[in-house]
Amino acid sequence: MSDSQNEVLNIAALKASLKQFAVDREWEQFHSPKNLSMALSVEASELLEIFQWMKEEDSWDISDPKLIEAVGDEVADIFVYLLRLATVLNLDLKELVDQKMLKNGKKYPVAKARGNSKKYTEFSD
């Protein structure tokens, strides 16, 4: 595992760096929640496009350097827009994820959810 994979992800530092990047370019005027959420959706669609016509089993093997770069670029773009959106809305990502996982734990109890892909609304009581 590379050193960068072992580093702790410092969300606050990344958010600050992305904010400064936008400030330096006078892009904050364009970074409304509406625009950022739309950009996030566009980037997610670009990631989907890479895998769109692949066979399921082929999607597990992205060893081609060009494919790795393309997937990596789109994942990074998604993450950047997500962090910018969280920044402009002053959202605490750790708190939000913790709260969401508690909700998910209730909606998807292990006894009902293990090994299947059903939505929680399809579980029988």
Give the domains, in start order, of the chain with CATH numbers: 8-91 (1.10.287.1080), 92-125 (no CATH)
Please tell me the distance from the alpha carbon of residue 15 to that of residue 23, in angstroms, as a whole number.
12
Report pLDDT for 92: 95
| Assessment of whether the complete model's pTM goes beyond 0.85 | yes
Please tell me the distance from the alpha carbon of residue 82 to that of residue 16, in angstroms, as a whole number.
13
Report pLDDT for 124: 83
pLDDT, tens digit (0-9, with 9 covering 90-100), for 73-114: 999 999 999 999 999 999 999 999 999 999 999 999 999 999
pLDDT, tens digit (0-9, with 9 covering 90-100), for 17-50: 999 999 999 999 999 999 999 999 999 999 999 9
Please tell me the distance from the alpha carbon of residue 83 to that of residue 15, in angstroms, as a whole number.
6
pLDDT, tens digit (0-9, with 9 covering 90-100), for 6-15: 788 899 999 9
